[in-house]
Structure 1
Amino acid sequence: MASNICDKLRAGVATGSAAATRALATELAAALPDDTVLALHGDLGVGKTTFVQGLAAGLGIHDPVTSPTFNLYTLYPGPRRLLHLDAYRLENGGQVDALMLEDFLISPWIAAIEWPERIADWMPPDAWHLELGITADEQHTLRLR
Structure 2
Amino acid sequence: MDVIAELQAGCLTTSAEETIRLAERLAEVLPVDTALVLEGDLGAGKTTFVQGLARAWRITDPVTSPTYAIYSLYRGERMLIHIDAYRIENPEEGDSLLIEDLLESPWNLAVEWPEKIDAWWLQGAWKLSLKRIAPGQHQLSLSLV
What's the TM-score, normalizing by structure 1?
Answer: 0.92
Q: Which residue matches 2:116?
A: 118
* Alpha-carbon shift at residue 64 of structure 1 (Å): 0.7
* Alpha-carbon shift at residue 123 of structure 1 (Å): 5.5
Q: Output the aligned Cα RMSD.
A: 1.5
Task: Give the letter for the 2:86 counterpart.
Answer: Y
Q: Where does structure 2 lack aligned partners over 5 or more consecutive residues?
A: none
In structure 2, C-alpha distance between the alignment counterparts of 1:90 and 1:57, rounded to whole Å: 27
Task: Give the letter for the 1:142 counterpart.
Answer: L
* Corresponding residue SS for 2:35: strand
Q: Which residue matches 1:68?
A: 66
* Alpha-carbon shift at residue 60 of structure 1 (Å): 1.7
Summarize the alignment of residues 15-94 of structure 1 with structure 2, pairs less than 5 Å apart: 15-94=13-92
Q: Deviations over 1:84-112 (max 9, x none)?
A: 00011113442121121111110110100
Task: Give the letter for the 2:31 counterpart.
Answer: P
Task: Give the letter for the 1:61 counterpart.
Answer: I
* Alpha-carbon shift at residue 124 of structure 1 (Å): 3.0
Task: Give the letter for the 2:72 counterpart.
Answer: T
Q: Which residue matches 1:105?
A: 103
In structure 2, C-alpha distance between the alignment counterparts of 1:138 and 1:103, rounded to whole Å: 37
What's the TM-score, normalizing by structure 2?
Answer: 0.92
Q: Which residue matches 1:135?
A: 133
Q: Where does structure 1 lack aligned partners over 5 or more consecutive residues?
A: none
Q: 2:4 aligns with which of 6, 9, 21?
A: 6
Q: Deviations over 1:23-67 (max 9, x none)?
A: 000110011111010000000001100000001011121111001
Seq. identity, % = 53
* Corresponding residue SS for 2:63: coil
* Alpha-carbon shift at residue 73 of structure 1 (Å): 0.3
Is the CA contact 1:92–1:121 (under 8 Å) kept in the aligned structure 2?
no
In structure 2, C-alpha distance between the alignment counterparts of 1:119 and 1:54, rounded to whole Å: 24
